[in-house]
């Protein structure tokens, strides 16, 4: 393949001096941004499937009131692992995969600026994921009491101090994941500042690159805080400190402040890369330039900065002082303005375009609408008067799935369909893609719209069993969730089919309306691209 | 939105118009319908009414906003498609002053929505919630502990523990589920209606959250800190809720039941409870017989201890220690001078074990309860210590 593609790009053998290894060593020791990007995406996909299976087991328990499938101890582990894996080991790695694969091609760079760090950042992930899951399997051999079980935010720190070895493994896992994220973030920042092709001014960079620049700074800001918080928890557990133990003068709420200082910006870490992709897809299939490019760049920064000072809206019923409650309520509401501006720009991008509706476009439009619901149902939450009716109920769960799954995961699917022909050189199966979209979007809304309703009626989160009043809705939610899970099999089947070379050959430009440096390269792109930087006009 | 619409296709305009209008109509009719409050539990306190009002107002606003944005998207999808043969426009910024005005207007509108339409009621409600002290008629102390609630009426001298009364058989599906499955307790809280009750919240182990949707409130119970809220029930009735903070394996099984009753009935209930606790105090002074201690202790064990240590006293290996054959149980608990020996049976039950789920039960259980349950544990599950603990001993050791 290599010689072929080398010939295609017209590179001489003299430039092709460092042959890359083949077989397993190609992947283990790779410093190539495309290989590493692919590995991140595959890792993310595996984690997506694992976490999905976990939550389907949970939904099976919730089909009927009463305990049929598992006891609360197991239930709490599954829910917690689902959240932790989806947030830490699926959304972020999958998005990092896209940035690794695309950013060098988008800005005309030969590779990431720190390729070895890049390799290291990826290979830390696997042991981290294993650490998170080990205690879950150990319990079946009578060792320990299972995986972490206090919710993915482990925000009840006295409960974490009581808990068994699952929490220690999680703390180590978080440290490793944090290291991985920090190396990734530094790499992105260094690459963007140093390796842009001549003429690629900052304000000419694709929005995806901008979004990742903001994301990287956010990661550098929040990951060390998370690392500190879990380390303090570890010393509280084993070395007699009292950071979070009230009996020793500590404060259980301090842990929540530190955790949410990480946890809320983490939402934007998951969403920003998607926000950088959606307008590109919309503009491609509307055959019209992106509306309000500059405004969106400023929006990214505004949301990044505002998003870092609103964390305690997760704690408004914890009993903070009135001034604190009011501050966090009003700051949170202010995020609606840059977010609304972004959605406005997206709608204006398709307005009076000449649209066609291939699968990536369907997913992009779906993402816009689902994220719209997520944003609007989130706008009401920080309001203190009704906050208690929403907090810690299934309403919150429904709401954040509209942003996390409807915003981030559906957006990543849009990006996958959009770039799959570029990556594999073949078009995916359009019929299967559309089927995947329609089943996903209908089942998704069935699950999470009803979940918000059952939450408003008062059903608390993390409840393995529920009063009979919530029985009917939970039955429908569970069955829809199984359909939603099954629909994702179509997605992965389609990807594998395309990657194996089925489907029509993709042109260099792939889509009629596509533009950008990555679409000037052949499909699939050769192993080394832009060894001679292109000139950007 | 941007300039004039290109098409003059009447049908599409009608479609868009119908969509927006039907959305709006659905909303208005829904609101006009008596009692529709976007799925919230019916409110019975002033704060809950406030929350309900704000909730309905905000949900109406976001539903309208959603349908307006969706209307634009659907209009574009229907009209601005390639199959209609339209040429794409090329604008990427507002160009004229008028377009800038169009662009800015929604955000000024949103700013006003955020900080005036939604902000002012929210601000008022926040102040009202915070004021637990003005004109408060009585105080209720609520202590959360794994997995039960303890209630105390300091002025009336009443104190009791409230645990879920749904039998295990119903949870496991061996019996039909009752009407109030999972939201029924042995000792409900009783509060007078039309009185402002100041509720103080605390916890003896991990963070819990006291949550009754009909009161429009939940608040965290945090170990080592005091939190406050207030309720003023307007109508007699039974109001139910569940713990709202994941707090370990019994989290779904620590419900809250509050009975709102008229002031007369409340006074009767207080008198009854006071008699009960006087009897209890008197019995602490008397010398109990072994059989009575064992019988009372078994009841306490099944209600409080068996959740972790299991009904057969064998515990859960690796998680909750067994009592059967335990060294802590099967040994002396008092030294020669009559003091507690650290980390032996009675000390563990009274003072708990730091950093574990074993809490200090001297805060939760009465002298009789502790004496009885310790006696029961020492002489059950194959333990044959043969000794007993008298309530008066426990009282002296507090």
- Apex A272 CA angle, A258 and A256, nearest 5: 15
Closest CA to A370 of A297, A437, A416: A437
Closest residue of chain B to A64, computed from CA coordinates: B173
Q: Is the pLDDT of residue A16 over 70?
A: no
Closest residue of chain A to B105, computed from CA coordinates: A341
Distance from CA of B186 to the nearest CA of A (A): 17
Task: State pLDDT tens for residues A214-224.
Answer: 999 999 999 99
Cα-based distances in Å from A36 to A1, A109, A499, B301 = 18, 16, 17, 58
Which of A350, A386, A465 is the closest to B51 by Cβ? A386
- Partners of A157 on chain B (C-beta within 8 Å) are 207
**Domain A2-10+35-520 is found in CATH 3.40.50.720:** no
Cα-based distances in Å from A327 to A265, A316, A322, B64 = 17, 11, 9, 27
Distance from CA of A156 to the nearest CA of B (A): 6
Mean pLDDT by 10 residues, chain B (398 residues): 43 59 58 68 90 89 92 93 86 87 87 89 88 92 93 92 91 90 94 95 93 91 93 95 92 95 94 86 81 87 84 81 87 84 88 80 84 89 86 84
Whether residues B39 and A453 touch (CB distance < 8 A) is answered with yes
Which of A240, A316, A389 has the most B C-beta neighbours within 10 Å, making it the best mutation to test the interface with B? A389
Return the pLDDT at A5.
43
Return the pLDDT at B8.
45
Closest residue of chain A to B241, computed from CA coordinates: A458
- Partners of B185 on chain A (C-beta within 8 Å) are none
Q: Where are the alpha helices (DSSP H) in A457-470?
A: none
Return the pLDDT at B352.
86
If you compute the radius of gyration of chain A from its CA atoms, what whole number of angstroms results?
A: 23
Per DSSP bridges, beta strands B237-242 and B255-261 are antiparallel
Residue with structure tokens 């829904």?
B30
Return the pLDDT at A364.
96
- Residue B209 pairs in a beta bridge with B220
Which of B208, B251, B253 has the most A C-beta neighbours within 10 Å, making it the best mutation to test the interface with A? B251
Task: State pLDDT tens for residues A24-76.
Answer: 888 888 899 999 999 999 999 999 999 999 999 999 999 999 999 999 999 99
Return the pLDDT at B144.
94
Q: What percent of chain A has a predicted confidence (pLDDT) above 70?
A: 96
Return the pLDDT at A203.
94
Residue B384 CB neighbours (<10 A): 8
Whether residues B92 and A293 touch (CB distance < 8 A) is answered with yes
Residue with structure tokens 């490019």?
A293
Closest CA to A291 of B106, B89, B69, B86: B89
Return the pLDDT at A10.
42
Which of B122, B243, B253 is the closest to A329 by Cβ? B122
The predicted complex's ipTM stands at 0.89
Name the strand (E) or helix (H) holding B257. strand B255-261
How many interchain CB pairs under 8 A, A with B?
A: 286
Return the pLDDT at A500.
93
Return the pLDDT at A6.
42
The region of weakest confidence among A98-102, A525-529, B201-205, B307-311 is B307-311
Whether residues A385 and B222 touch (CB distance < 8 A) is answered with no
Which of B92, B257, B359 has the most A C-beta neighbours within 10 Å, making it the best mutation to test the interface with A? B92
In whole angstroms, give the CA distance from residue B48 to residue B174: 38
In whole angstroms, give the CA distance from residue A161 to residue B205: 10
Whether residues B126 and A365 touch (CB distance < 8 A) is answered with no
Residue B224 CB neighbours (<10 A): 17
Q: Residue A474, CB half-sphere, CA atoms under 13 Å: how many?
A: 26
Closest residue of chain A to B109, computed from CA coordinates: A337
Residue A364 CB neighbours (<10 A): 30
- Partners of A144 on chain B (C-beta within 8 Å) are 318
Distance from CA of B338 to the nearest CA of A (A): 27
Which of B50, B92, B207 is the closest to A291 by Cβ? B92
Q: Which domains does chain B possess?
A: 10-81+94-130 (no CATH), 138-167+184-262 (2.60.40.420), 286-397 (1.10.760.10)
Closest residue of chain B to A466, computed from CA coordinates: B182
Whether residues B92 and A319 touch (CB distance < 8 A) is answered with no
Task: State pLDDT tens for residues A402-428.
Answer: 999 999 999 999 999 999 999 999 999
Task: State pLDDT tens for residues A73-93.
Answer: 999 999 999 999 999 999 999
Q: Is the pLDDT of residue A377 over 60?
A: yes
Q: Is the pLDDT of residue A512 over 60?
A: yes
Which of B86, B213, B357 is the closest to A354 by Cβ? B86
- Partners of A377 on chain B (C-beta within 8 Å) are 62
Q: What is the mean pLDDT of residues A184-193?
A: 95
- Apex A300 CA angle, A297 and A302, nearest 5: 110
In whole angstroms, give the CA distance from residue B222 to residue B225: 6
Which of A237, A348, A353 is the closest to B88 by Cβ? A353
User: Do the Cβ atoms of B209 and B221 come closer than 8 Å?
Assistant: yes
Task: State pLDDT tens for residues A419-470.
Answer: 999 999 999 999 999 999 999 999 999 999 999 999 999 999 999 999 999 9
Which of A142, A369, A462 is the closest to B73 by Cβ? A369
User: Do the Cβ atoms of A392 and B218 come closer than 8 Å?
Assistant: yes
- Partners of A145 on chain B (C-beta within 8 Å) are 316, 318-319
Closest CA to A222 of A168, A258, A175: A258
Return the pLDDT at A467.
93
In whole angstroms, give the CA distance from residue A32 to residue A519: 19
Return the pLDDT at B20.
61
Distance from CA of A68 to the nearest CA of B (A): 7
Name the strand (E) or helix (H) holding B258. strand B255-261
Question: Residue A309: which pLDDT band, with cuts at 50, 70 and 90?
Answer: very high
Check residue A452 and give left, alpha or beta (phi > 0: left; psi -120 to 50: alpha). alpha
Whether residues A336 and B110 touch (CB distance < 8 A) is answered with yes
Cα-based distances in Å from B33 to A455, B30, B38 = 21, 5, 11
List, in order, residues 6 or more apart from A34 with CB less than 8 Å away: A100, A101, A525, A527
Exposure string (b/e) for A106-144, b if CB count within 10 Å is 16 or more?
Answer: bbbbbbbbbbebbbebbbbbeebbebbbbbbebbeeeeb
Whether residues A380 and B111 touch (CB distance < 8 A) is answered with no
Q: What is the largest CA-CA distance in chain B?
A: 101
In whole angstroms, give the CA distance from residue A46 to residue B3: 47
């Amino acid at each position: 393949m290599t010689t072929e593609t080398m010939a295609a790009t017209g590179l001489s053998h003299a430039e092709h001096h460092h042959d890359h290894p083949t077989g397993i060593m190609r992947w283990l020791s790779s410093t190539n941004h495309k290989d590493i990007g692919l590995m991140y995406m595959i890792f993310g996909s595996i984690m997506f499937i694992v976490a999905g299976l976990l939550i389907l087991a949970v939904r099976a328990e919730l089909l009927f009131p009463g305990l049929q499938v598992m006891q609360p101890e197991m239930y709490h582990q599954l829910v917690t692992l689902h959240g932790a894996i989806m947030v830490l080991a699926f959304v972020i790695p999958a998005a990092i995969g896209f940035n690794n694969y695309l950013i060098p091609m988008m800005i005309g760079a030969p590779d990431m600026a720190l390729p070895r760090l890049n390799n290291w950042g990826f290979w830390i992930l696997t042991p981290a994921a294993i650490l998170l899951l080990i205690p879950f399997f150990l319990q079946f051999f009578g060792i320990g009491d299972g995986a972490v079980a206090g919710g993915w935010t482990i925000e009840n720190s006295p409960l974490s101090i009581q808990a068994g070895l699952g929490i220690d493994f999680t703390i180590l896992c978080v440290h490793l994941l944090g290291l991985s994220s920090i190396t990734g973030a530094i790499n992105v920042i260094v690459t963007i500042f140093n390796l842009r092709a001549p003429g690629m001014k900052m304000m000419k960079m694709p929005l995806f690159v901008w979004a990742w620049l903001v994301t990287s700074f956010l990661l550098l800001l929040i990951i060390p805080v998370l690392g500190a918080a879990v380390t303090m928890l570890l010393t509280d557990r084993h070395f007699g400190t009292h950071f979070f133990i009230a009996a020793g003068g500590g404060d259980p709420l301090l842990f929540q402040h530190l955790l949410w200082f990480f946890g809320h910006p983490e939402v934007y870490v998951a969403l920003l890369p998607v926000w950088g992709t959606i307008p590109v897809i919309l503009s491609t299939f509307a055959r019209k330039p992106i509306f309000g490019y500059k405004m969106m760049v400023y929006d990214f920064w505004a949301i990044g900065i505002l998003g870092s000072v609103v964390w305690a809206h997760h704690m408004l019923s914890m009993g903070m002082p009135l001034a604190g409650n009011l501050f966090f309520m009003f700051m949170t509401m202010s995020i609606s303005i840059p977010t609304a501006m972004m959605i406005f720009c997206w709608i204006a991008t398709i307005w009076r375009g000449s649209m066609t509706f291939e699968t990536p476009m369907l997913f992009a439009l779906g993402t816009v609408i689902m994220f719209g619901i997520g944003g609007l149902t989130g706008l009401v939450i920080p309001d203190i008067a009704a906050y208690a009716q929403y907090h810690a109920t299934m309403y919150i769960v429904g709401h954040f799935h509209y942003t996390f799954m409807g915003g981030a995961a559906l957006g990543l699917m849009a990006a996958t369909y959009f770039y799959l022909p570029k990556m594999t050189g073949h078009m995916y199966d359009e019929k299967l893609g559309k089927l995947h979209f329609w089943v996903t979007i209908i089942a998704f809304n069935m699950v999470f719209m009803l979940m918000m309703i059952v939450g408003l009626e008062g059903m608390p989160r993390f409840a393995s069993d529920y009063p009979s009043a919530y029985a009917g809705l939970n039955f429908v939610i569970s069955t829809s969730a199984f359909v939603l899970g099954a629909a994702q099999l179509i997605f992965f089947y389609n990807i594998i089919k395309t990657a194996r070379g089925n489907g029509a050959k993709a042109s260099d430009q792939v889509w009629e309306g596509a533009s950008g440096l990555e679409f000037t390269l052949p499909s699939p792109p050769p192993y080394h691209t832009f060894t001679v930087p292109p000139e950007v006009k | 939105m941007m300039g004039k619409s290109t098409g003059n296709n009447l049908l599409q305009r009608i479609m868009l118009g119908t969509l927006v209008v039907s959305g709006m109509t659905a909303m208005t009719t829904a609101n006009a319908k008596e009692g529709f409050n976007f799925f919230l539990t019916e409110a019975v306190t002033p704060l809950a009414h406030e929350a309900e009002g704000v909730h309905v107002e905000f949900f109406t606003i976001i539903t309208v906003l959603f349908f307006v944005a969706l209307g634009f998207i659907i209009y574009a999808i229907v009209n601005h498609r390639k199959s209609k043969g339209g040429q794409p426009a090329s604008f990427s910024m507002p160009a004229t002053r008028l377009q800038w005005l169009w662009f800015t207007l929604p955000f000024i509108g949103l700013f006003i929505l955020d900080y005036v339409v939604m902000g002012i009621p929210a601000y008022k409600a926040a102040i009202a919630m915070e004021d637990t002290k003005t004109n408060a008629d009585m105080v209720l102390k609520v202590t959360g502990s794994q997995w039960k609630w303890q209630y105390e009426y300091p002025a009336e001298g009443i104190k009791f523990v409230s645990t879920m009364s749904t039998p295990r058989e119903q949870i496991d599906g061996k019996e039909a589920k009752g009407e109030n499955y999972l939201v029924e307790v042995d000792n409900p809280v009783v509060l007078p209606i039309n009185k402002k009750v100041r509720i103080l919240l605390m916890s003896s182990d991990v963070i819990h959250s006291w949550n009754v949707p009909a009161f429009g409130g939940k608040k965290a119970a945090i170990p080592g800190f005091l939190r406050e809220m207030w309720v003023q029930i307007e109508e007699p009735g039974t109001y139910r809720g569940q713990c709202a903070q994941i707090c370990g394996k019994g989290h779904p099984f620590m419900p809250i039941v509050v009975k709102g009753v008229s002031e007369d009935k409340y006074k009767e209930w207080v008198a009854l409870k006071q008699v009960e606790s006087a009897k209890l105090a008197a019995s602490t002074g008397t010398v109990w017989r072994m059989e009575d201690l064992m019988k009372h202790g078994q009841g306490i064990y099944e209600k409080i201890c068996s959740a972790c240590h299991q009904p057969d006293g064998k515990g859960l290996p690796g998680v909750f220690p067994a009592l059967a054959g335990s060294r802590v149980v099967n040994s002396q608990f008092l030294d020669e001078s009559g003091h507690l020996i650290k980390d032996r049976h009675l000390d563990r039950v009274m003072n708990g074990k730091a950093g574990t789920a074993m809490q200090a039960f001297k805060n939760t259980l009465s002298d009789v309860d502790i004496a009885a349950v310790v006696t029961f544990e020492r002489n059950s599950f194959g333990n044959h210590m043969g000794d007993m603990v008298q309530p008066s001993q426990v009282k002296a050791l507090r």
